[in-house]
């Protein structure tokens, strides 16, 4: 079952059908339209659309002047005589006007304006073409590339336990509560589908991910809410969108997102594929607030994008599909595989690498504490959404019945808020929740129940054991990943 491929195919198809929408448009109209000329009379001459204006960039507060007639090349005039030019601006002029074929004025605010330029000849026949003017905030940074990075798996040298391996069989430490059934043995696989990571694709994705131009007012980038140093999560309980509004849920860590085998994204799995997911924050009225149509005008009008698209996809065309593919490639390149835990697994003898507490915590996690029955594989991803008993009465239904997916637990110790509503502030609280805090929700996952009546489990972990599980979670921190230059912002102020 790979819904991601289906969705990808749909996206590609949609883009292929809608390709014309990405480019400035021309509509020729004729004064005689609707009337059929008599066969003996020559066809009436009308202005003919010549060179189409490319989308233009302007800056808020800075005078703008642009010759939309392209020195007379925008239309040709078979009838002869002077052409008159007029223009309409949608959704509004944003401080611009048309004078002598020039769009001039000082843009008032960050906004994309569609200019429809009409040429009228001496007989009143008209013809039109449209293009966009994106007004950007003043002083935006530009990307600087000094190093070519490797994002593809082949060049990463992923450890063996990242290509095939079920979790090590659990060995309960002495004195631990009776072992629960063993974790499912699922090999580490991923949700890449047909969109393999390429260096040029991920590079484009990286620029997009860090570019504040992705938001309506040029203030918020993906990276504003997904911060590398925190495993690409946010420190705040709820994140601020482009106008300062707060998101309804806590931002999710993105490390190892690609290894979530069900391939659905968001806490409630509402995005069917990563390629679907990455376009949603851009259009979200609270997060980035820009339509995809306006967004493509902004990218086309930004000098460095056409080259990045050409490098990634072979031509400079900017389409929804390509934006989705590139962003998804960058997110999938965020494999975390160089933590202390990875060294321990690769050594074949974890106890020789981990401290006593970390090793005891590892054994609890994959054994009696039952954590690895849901947080599966060496990528520590969720197997499927679950209700984990946060509330007795469901507040947020999530994927239904209060079920949520968890992001990978990689780098979880760097985060400062936990769960979909960011309610916990320490990992000890999280482990304490599983130990003694589960609420008797009717939809509580069967794996978190115990006894003949299916009561919420009480793990019976001692304070020392709770701390051991926390120590283990700290071994999932991967400083190489959270400091890697290739994930950092390429923009220089
Ligand atoms: C204003 C803050 C904000 C911005 C900007 C933002 N995100 Fe998010 N992101 C969130 C929140 C909050 C969630 C969880 C939302 C939910 O589940 O309802 C999330 C979830 C995600 C997920 C799902 C992870 C998973 O494992 O299911 C991905 C992937 C993601 N964001 C990528 C991006 C990308 C790419 C961008 C830029 C195009 C972006 N985000 C912009 C806040 C933000
Ligand atoms: C029945 C499945 C299940 C089991 C067993 C389970 N978890 Fe979870 N875990 C979840 C779900 C579901 C979430 C997300 C819940 C939410 O946000 O509402 C989660 C979230 C978390 C988070 C927060 C992740 C984040 O980014 O906010 C941590 C940490 C965590 N679990 C650790 C553990 C530990 C440690 C154990 C064992 C003591 C454990 N889990 C057992 C299902 C489970």
| 386-407 confidence digits (pLDDT tens) | 999 999 999 999 999 999 999 9
pLDDT, position 11: 40
Q: How far apart are CA 456 and CA 445, in angstroms?
A: 9
Q: Is 312 in the pocket of ligand 2 (CB under 6 A)?
A: no
Closest residue by Cα to atom 13, ligand 1, is 251
CB 110 within 8 A of CB 447: no
- The proportion of the chain whose per-residue pLDDT surpasses 70, expressed as a percent, equals 87
Q: Is 242 in the pocket of ligand 1 (CB under 6 A)?
A: no
pLDDT, position 315: 96
15-19, 214-218, 232-236, 487-491: least confidently modelled range: 15-19
Q: What is the DSSP letter of 424?
A: B
**Ligand 1: centre distance to CA 375 (Å):** 20
| 238-263 confidence digits (pLDDT tens) | 999 999 999 999 999 999 999 998 99
In this model, does residue 233 exceed pLDDT 80?
Answer: yes
41-50, 81-90, 117-126, 252-261: least confidently modelled range: 41-50
CB 387 within 8 A of CB 403: yes
Q: How far apart are CA 72 and CA 270, in angstroms?
A: 50
**If you compute the radius of gyration of the chain from its CA atoms, what whole number of angstroms results?**
28
Instruction: For each of the domains in the chain, give its residue range(s) and CATH number, in order of start.
Output: 46-138 (2.60.40.10), 153-184+338-482 (1.10.760.10), 191-336 (1.10.760.10)
Q: Is 327 in the pocket of ligand 1 (CB under 6 A)?
A: yes
pLDDT, position 8: 41
pLDDT, position 381: 93
pLDDT confidence bin for 16, thresholds 50/70/90: very low
* Local structure of 6: helix, strand or coil: helix
In this model, does residue 2 exceed pLDDT 70?
Answer: no
Q: Is 430 in the pocket of ligand 2 (CB under 6 A)?
A: yes
The residue with greater pLDDT, 34 or 62, is 62
Q: What is the pTM of this model?
A: 0.90
Mean local confidence (pLDDT), 324-343: 96
| 405-439 confidence digits (pLDDT tens) | 999 999 999 999 999 999 999 999 999 999 999 99
Q: Is 407 in the pocket of ligand 1 (CB under 6 A)?
A: yes
**Ligand 2: centre distance to CA 133 (Å):** 47
Nearest atom within ligand 2 for CA of residue 405 = 12
**Ligand 2: centre distance to CA 446 (Å):** 14
pLDDT, position 187: 56
User: How many Cβ atoms from other residues are within 10 Å of residue 102's Cβ?
Assistant: 15
In this model, does residue 163 exceed pLDDT 90?
Answer: no
**Ligand 2: centre distance to CA 406 (Å):** 6
pLDDT, position 451: 87
Query: Side-chain half-sphere of 429: how many Cα atoms within 13 Å?
Result: 11
Closest by CA to 459, choosing from 428, 483, 438, is 438
**Ligand 2: centre distance to CA 324 (Å):** 29
Q: Is 379 in the pocket of ligand 1 (CB under 6 A)?
A: no
Q: How far apart are the first and last CA of the chain?
A: 45
The residue with greater pLDDT, 357 or 158, is 357
**Ligand 1: centre distance to CA 251 (Å):** 6
**Ligand 1: centre distance to CA 413 (Å):** 19
Give the ligand at the shortest distance from the Cα of 256: 1
247: preceding bond cis by omega (within 30 degrees): no
Q: Is 210 in the pocket of ligand 1 (CB under 6 A)?
A: no
pLDDT, position 29: 60
pLDDT, position 32: 42
Mean local confidence (pLDDT), 40-55: 82
Q: How far apart are CA 50 and CA 69, in angstroms?
A: 10
pLDDT, position 147: 79
**Ligand 1: centre distance to CA 382 (Å):** 17
71 burial type by CB count under 10 A (0-12 exposed, 13-18 middle, 19+ buried): exposed
pLDDT confidence bin for 43, thresholds 50/70/90: low
What H or E segment, with its residue span, contains residue 133?
strand 126-136
Q: Is 149 in the pocket of ligand 1 (CB under 6 A)?
A: no
Q: Is 221 in the pocket of ligand 2 (CB under 6 A)?
A: no
| 182-221 confidence digits (pLDDT tens) | 444 445 678 888 899 999 999 999 999 999 999 999 999 9
Mean local confidence (pLDDT), 343-370: 95
Mean local confidence (pLDDT), 33-45: 51
pLDDT, position 27: 79
305-313 helix and 292-300 helix, angle to the nearest 10 degrees: 100
pLDDT, position 22: 54
């Amino acid at each position: 079952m790979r819904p991601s491929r289906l969705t990808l195919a749909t996206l590609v198809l949609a883009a292929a059908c809608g390709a014309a929408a990405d480019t400035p448009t021309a509509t020729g109209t004729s004064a005689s339209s609707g009337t059929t000329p008599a066969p003996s009379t020559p066809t009436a001459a009308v202005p003919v659309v010549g060179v189409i204006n490319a989308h233009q960039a302007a800056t808020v507060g800075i005078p703008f002047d642009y010759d939309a007639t392209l020195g007379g090349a925008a239309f040709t005039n078979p009838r002869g005589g002077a052409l008159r030019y007029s223009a309409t601006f949608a959704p509004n002029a944003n401080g611009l006007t048309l004078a002598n074929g020039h769009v001039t004025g000082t843009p008032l605010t960050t906004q994309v304006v569609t200019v429809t330029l009409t040429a009228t000849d001496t007989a009143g026949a008209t013809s039109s073409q449209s293009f966009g003017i994106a007004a950007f905030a003043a002083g935006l940074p530009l990307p600087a590339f000094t190093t070519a990075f490797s994002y593809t798996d082949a060049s990463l040298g992923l450890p063996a336990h990242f290509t095939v391996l079920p979790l090590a069989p659990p060995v309960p430490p002495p004195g631990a509560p009776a072992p629960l059934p063993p974790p499912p043995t699922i090999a580490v696989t991923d949700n890449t589908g047909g969109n393999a990571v390429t260096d040029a694709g991920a590079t484009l994705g990286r620029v997009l991910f860090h570019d504040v131009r992705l938001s309506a007012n040029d203030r918020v980038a993906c990276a504003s809410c997904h911060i590398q140093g925190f495993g690409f999560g946010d420190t705040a309980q709820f994140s601020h969108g482009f106008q300062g509004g707060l998101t309804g849920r806590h931002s999710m860590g993105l490390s190892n997102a690609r290894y979530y085998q069900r391939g659905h994204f968001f806490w409630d799995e509402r995005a069917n594929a990563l390629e679907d997911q990455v376009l949603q924050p851009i259009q979200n009225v609270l997060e980035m607030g820009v339509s995809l149509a306006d967004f493509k005008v902004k990218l086309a009008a930004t000098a460095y994008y056409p080259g990045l698209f050409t490098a990634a996809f072979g031509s400079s065309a900017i389409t929804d599909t390509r934006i989705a593919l590139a962003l998804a490639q960058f997110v999938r390149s965020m494999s975390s595989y160089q933590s202390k835990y990875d060294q321990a697994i690769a050594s074949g003898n974890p106890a020789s690498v981990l401290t006593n507490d970390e090793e005891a915590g590892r054994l609890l996690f994959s054994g009696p504490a039952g954590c690895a029955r849901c947080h599966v594989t060496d990528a520590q991803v969720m197997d499927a959404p679950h209700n984990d008993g946060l509330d007795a009465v469901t507040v947020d239904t999530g994927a239904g019945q209060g079920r949520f997916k968890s992001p990978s637990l990689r780098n979880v110790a760097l985060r400062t808020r936990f769960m979909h509503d960011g309610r916990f502030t320490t990992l000890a609280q999280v482990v304490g929740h599983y130990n003694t805090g589960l609420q008797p929700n009717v939809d509580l996952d069967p794996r978190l129940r115990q006894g003949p009546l299916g009561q919420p489990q009480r793990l019976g972990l001692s304070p020392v054991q709770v701390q051991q599980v926390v120590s283990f979670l700290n071994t999932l921190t991967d400083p190489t990943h959270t400091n890697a230059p290739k994930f950092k912002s390429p923009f220089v102020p």
